[in-house]
Each structure stands twice: as structure tokens, then as C-alpha cells.
A and B are shown apart, each in its own frame.
Chain A
Amino acid sequence: MYVTGSFEYNFHVELAISELEKKDVPRDAIAAVLMDSRVEDRKIMDTIHRADGISSFDAAALLGTFCMLMGAIYGFVLTWGPIIWGLIGLLAGALLGLVGDLFISRLTSKTPIAKKPTGTAGGKAAQVFIIVECDQSQVAMVENILWDNLAQGVGKLP
């Protein structure tokens, strides 16, 4: 029988596999399928699960920093002082960088941004499928190990 579990890339996959091997499931009977996905929407912020390296953080950080500096300089001659104007500059610059980057990349990108292959699954976590080939008597044990190590889903094929 086959028992399958889906995981994110993390320590739990390895903990599950090593526990299976400890319970005498041979290494050759465990297979890992590394899931890729074709398309993914471009996100403004990266998350722990997916980071495509094309988030709009570069322009926002640089322009935010530059405008913070300008706010701090002109704040010395404006009523609210350098601190408040520095903060205003930071927020305004970051916002401008974010909006500008999205706008420009929309104009210049030949392929639609949403069609860029990134190797992570559907905007969520990149996944690993673990397939374990085992006897009928081991099925419950294998399922428990997969669940205990935070599998997102577990299934079996008789």
C-alpha cells in the first residue's frame, strides 16, 4: 500500500522521514516528490512560505530612506521639525516606491506578472509529498507518524 503525506519545506519533513526509518521502513520505500507550480501572483510582501524575490521591497526601501533624509533636512526649517518630517518622508517615499514599482513593472513587463514561474505552489507554501510504500499492518503507524509531524494532509492508496 501507499501512504502519502504533504508537507511544507521545514524540519518536520525530515523528522517524519527519520522516524519512519527508525520504525524499520526501508529508505528505498520512501519517496519525496518536490512540488513545483507554474504560476503565481506577484505579492507585495513575501511570507515565510513563499518568497519570489520580485517583491516591491527594493524601491520602497530605497525611496523611503531617501525621502526620510529629505524630510529630516527640510524639517530643520519647517514648523514640525526634522523628526516628524523625517517620518512623513519615510512613509511617503516608501508608498511612492511601492506604487511606482508596481506601476512601472506593469507597463514594462512583457509577460503578465501573474504568469511568472517561481517554483512555489499556488501562492501558498512550496510543498513536498512523501510517499511511503508499506504493508497493510504498517499503514496506521505510518499515518500516525505523518500526522504527528504536522503533515498538512495524509492519504492512502490501497
Chain B
Amino acid sequence: MEKKQPESIRNKRRPIGAVNPITTNFFHLRNPWVTAAWSAMFPGFGYIVMGSYIKGFLLVGWELLINTQAHINLAIMYSYLGKFDLARDVLDVRWTLLYLAVWAFSVWGSYSLTVDLNKLSILGNREDSTMIPVSISSWDINFLDKKQPWVAAVLSTLSPGLGHLYSHRVPTSFFLLTLTIGTVYLSHILEAIQYSALGAFGQATAVLDPQWFLFFPSLYGFAVYDSYVNTVEYNKLFEQEQARFLRDNYQSPRFDSRLLKARSQED
């Protein structure tokens, strides 16, 4: 006896994505080295890129705790500046060794998860699965839409998190806005910018807290990169979903025959 899965199950088995009120999570091809590199710069970022939020937030929280307690950022800075004695002294050995295994795991984990999600992305596309492009609930409304990638990038340069609010990737947006407030406040960046703009470079350097300031470049670059890439990929997803809808409903085999029938009635 022939066994065949109903279409309703086949479409769900290898999904291309899901629209949820607070975000659209979906598969698309990524370079695993790129997500691994983001996790190397800030453990957890690679997971957040892929929409694996719980793991991502867990690792980011871990990074903030262990790095600030062990003074990893300070040790990195002193090492690059060639002050190896200072680097050795600044590390708190009560915390330092906690850093290594989890950091390595986050880099490797991002890489291997990307490889797996790429396979799921290819399978979903080959299966030509459908998706529901709108989601509405009491909390929020989300739908696939076309947006300008450069607007997302520019918004992210103005304030990390805004670009994600524009593309409706709310968890990343909330996380980046919060992380930015904490980092900016604790590192005294805004004061340093003020002093730098006025030419008081000595004061700018003195006011900065390097331990917190060194979180900022990764945070900033990540916000711009991720909001831009997501907007681009959301646009592609919109086209893919709409193409599937049009193919399913507006390519009727009767399209030509209607015309032929009409012609034959005229004759």
C-alpha cells in the first residue's frame, strides 16, 4: 500500500521560516566563519545572528559577568599594548579560567549551528514549503514586508538597536538598546566623545573606562551588520513567499483554455 504524507505535514516538516508577533525567524544561507567570528568578538552574538535567542542571551550575560569580573578586556588591551606584566597582574585568577571553555564553545557552537541551519535552509527551499506571512496577537503585529537595508544600517549607526526595531526583529532590538545603555554609561563613552569633539584628547582618554569601552566596538559593528543583513534577507523572504502564492493561485491551466473557448464561441 502506498503511503503518502499529507501536504499539510510536508509543508511544516521543513519550514523556511515562521512569522511570530515579535520577530520573524527563518533560515537562510550564511557563511559559518562569519557567525563564528561574531561569537569570537562577543560570545553569543553568533547565536543571536541566527535567531537562537535563548542561547545567545545566556552567552552574552555570561560574557558580561565573567569578562568584567576577570578583567579579560583589560588584559587583552595591555597585551596588545605590549605591557605583559600589567596584563598578568590585572587578571583576577579567581575568575579567569572560567572564560576559556565557554568562549571556545560559543565560537565552535556558532560555526556548527550555522552549518546545520544551512542544510535546513536548502531542504526548506527544495521542499518549497509555504509560510504564513502575517502574525497578529494582543502583543504585537508582524508581517513580511519590503524595507530599505541602508535605512536599517544608518539607524543602527545612530543608536544600536534602532535598525532592528525598523526591521521588526524586536528581541535583538531590545537587547541591543539595553546593552548600549549599560555599556555607554559604564564606559563614559559619551563624555569621551564630547571631549574628543572639543579637542581635549587627554581628558577623553582619562575619562574612559577601558574594561567597558572595549565591549563597544563589537556591539556597534554587530548592530549595523545584523540589521542590514536581516533587512536584505527579509526582502528576499517576502519575494519568495509572494512568488509561491502567485504560482499556486494565478497560473491556472484553464487560463488559455478559457480564451480558446471564447474564440470558438465567436466562430
Is B238 within 8 A of A81, CB to CB? no
Residues of A within 8 A of B48 (CB): none
Is B149 within 8 A of A69, CB to CB? no
16 contacts between A and B (CB under 8 A): A9-B146, A27-B249, A29-B258, A48-B235, A51-B236, A53-B233, A62-B221, A65-B221, A69-B217, A73-B81, A74-B81, A76-B81, A83-B193, A83-B208, A84-B196, A89-B217
Write out, one digit per residue, whether chain A residues 96-126 have a CB within 8 A of any chain B CB (1) or not (0).
0000000000000000000000000000001
Given contact pairs A9-B242, A133-B255, a sample of 4 additional A-B residue pairs in the complex whose CB atoms are under 8 Å apart: A27-B249, A68-B217, A69-B217, A74-B81
Partner of A48, one of B146, B205, B224: B146
Is A10 within 8 A of B146, CB to CB? yes
- Interface residue? B247 (CB, 8 A): yes
CB distance from A65 to the nearest CB of B (A): 3
CB distance from A28 to the nearest CB of B (A): 4
| Contact residues of B: prevailing secondary structure | helix
Is B238 within 8 A of A31, CB to CB? no
Q: Give the size of the chain A interface in residues (CB under 8 angstroms).
A: 51
Q: Which residue of A lies closest to B145 (CB)?
A: A11
Is B41 within 8 A of A65, CB to CB? yes
Is A65 within 8 A of B222, CB to CB? yes
A69-B217 Cα distance, complex, nearest whole Å: 5
Is B221 within 8 A of A76, CB to CB? no
Residues of A within 8 A of B8 (CB): none
Seen from chain B, the residues whose Cβ lies within 8 Å of a Cβ on chain A are: 28-29, 31, 34, 37-38, 41, 76-77, 80-81, 145-150, 189, 192-193, 195-196, 201-202, 204-205, 208, 210, 213-214, 216-218, 220-222, 224-225, 228-229, 232-233, 235-236, 238-239, 242-243, 245-247, 249-252, 254-255, 258-259
Is A31 within 8 A of B205, CB to CB? no
A65-B217 Cα distance, complex, nearest whole Å: 6
* A69 with B218, Cβ < 8 A, contacts A29-B255, A82-B205, A126-B239 known: yes
Is A82 within 8 A of B81, CB to CB? no
Residues of B within 8 A of A133 (CB): 255, 258-259
* A82 with B192, Cβ < 8 A, contacts A17-B250, A30-B250 known: yes
Is B41 within 8 A of A53, CB to CB? no
* A14 with B236, Cβ < 8 A, contacts A27-B250, A28-B252, A80-B201 known: no
Residues of A within 8 A of B196 (CB): 80-81, 83-84
